[in-house]
């Protein structure tokens, strides 16, 4: 169960909305809506039921799966983040008021900037589809697999209904992905700032810093996990070697590595400085 939020740690508007959507029952409902919508647009596009039960699903549910995965991943990683913040509250030598002020300042910056992450992700998802370059295809004409990109869900479908579904789900998935990436980087920055505060570190007991390590690891694993979905839902795995999928997956992996190593480097630095201070104290005592 996540710790109680103080005024300083109270979620932003977008965090509250994502928290509501990330409940397992809500995620299951969202997936169900995505599936029903795909069936509906498929039928409106004139696709026969036997085909709807076959390979039609591959790839076209990638964005729905990504959207659901990101919601659950955020719910999973936020628990670790809240525990890490509580751990730092017991480590810093600042008063609770000063500590809350630091969190509030970070939250204020996030409130202004996280919308930029959402908009940037949505615009990228729309540009990725390039709907203006996709001419309407004849009824039941299916484009070859070789021209279908793994992230452009249903881009070569025979119906504008399918294309509209593809654009909408792509925009939604990448809007959420943009927000998740921003939150990961913002949290890394927050904890980097917390590491620079005066801390009461026991060099013989690093246990209070373990929640930070768990949080950084969970965030990195969650981001890298998103890159495995195309392997499951893409008809042609070789298409993942194309430039755009490699850029997307490479970005996710790069962010995961940055978040993990930045936070762990700060933790390592804090421990090293604490050991050096204790060692200096011992040397000074022995020299007297």
The per-residue DSSP string of 168-184 comes to HHHHHHHHHHHHHHHHH
- Distance CA(74)–CA(67), nearest Å, equals 11
Domain membership flag for residue 6? no
Give the per-residue pLDDT at 140.
38
Domain membership flag for residue 219? yes
Say which DSSP state 198 is in: -
**Contacts (Cβ under 8 Å, ≥6 apart) of 116:** 182
Domain membership flag for residue 245? yes
Domain membership flag for residue 102? yes
Distance spanning both ends of the chain, measured CA to CA: 52
Domain membership flag for residue 7? no
**H/E segment holding residue 156:** none
Domain of 85, in residue numbers: 13-287
Domain membership flag for residue 224? yes
pTM higher than 0.85 for the full model? no
Give the per-residue pLDDT at 60.
76
For the chain, counts of helices (H) and of strands (E): 9, 0
- Distance CA(284)–CA(288), nearest Å, equals 6
- Total number of domains constituting the chain: 1
β-strand partners of 199: 92
- Distance CA(79)–CA(218), nearest Å, equals 10
Give the per-residue pLDDT at 155.
41
For the chain, 288 residues long, the average pLDDT of each consecutive 10-residue run is: 48 88 95 89 70 62 91 93 91 87 79 88 90 52 39 46 86 94 91 88 84 92 89 73 83 91 88 83 76
Domain membership flag for residue 39? yes
Domain membership flag for residue 4? no
């Amino acid at each position: 169960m996540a710790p109680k939020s103080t005024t300083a740690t109270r979620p932003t508007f977008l965090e509250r909305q994502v928290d509501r959507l990330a409940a397992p029952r809500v995620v299951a409902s969202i997936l169900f809506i995505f599936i029903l919508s795909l069936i509906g647009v498929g039928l409106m596009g004139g696709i026969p039921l036997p085909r709807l039960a076959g390979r039609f699903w591959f790839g076209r549910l990638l964005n729905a799966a990504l959207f659901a995965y990101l919601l659950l991943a955020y719910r999973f990683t936020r628990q670790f983040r809240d525990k890490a913040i509580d751990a730092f509250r017991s480590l810093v030598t600042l008063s609770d008021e000063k500590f809350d002020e630091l969190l509030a300042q970070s939250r204020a910056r996030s409130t202004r900037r996280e919308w930029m992450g959402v908009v940037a992700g949505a615009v990228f998802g729309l540009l990725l589809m390039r709907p203006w370059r996709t001419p309407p295809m004849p009824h039941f004409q299916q484009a070859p697999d070789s021209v279908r990109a793994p992230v452009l869900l249903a881009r070569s479908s025979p119906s504008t209904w399918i294309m509209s579904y593809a654009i909408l789900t792509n925009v939604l998935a990448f809007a959420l992905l943009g927000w998740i990436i921003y939150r990961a980087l913002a949290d890394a920055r927050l904890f980097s700032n917390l590491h620079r505060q005066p801390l009461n570190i026991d060099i013989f007991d690093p246990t209070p810093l373990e929640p930070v390590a768990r949080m950084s690891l969970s965030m990195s694993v969650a981001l890298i996990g998103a890159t495995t979905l195309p392997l499951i839902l893409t008809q042609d795995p070789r298409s993942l070697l194309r430039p755009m999928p490699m850029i997307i997956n490479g970005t996710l992996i790069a962010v995961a590595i940055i978040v993990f190593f930045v936070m762990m480097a700060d933790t390592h630095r804090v421990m090293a400085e604490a050991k050096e201070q204790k060692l200096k104290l011992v040397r000074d005592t022995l020299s007297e």
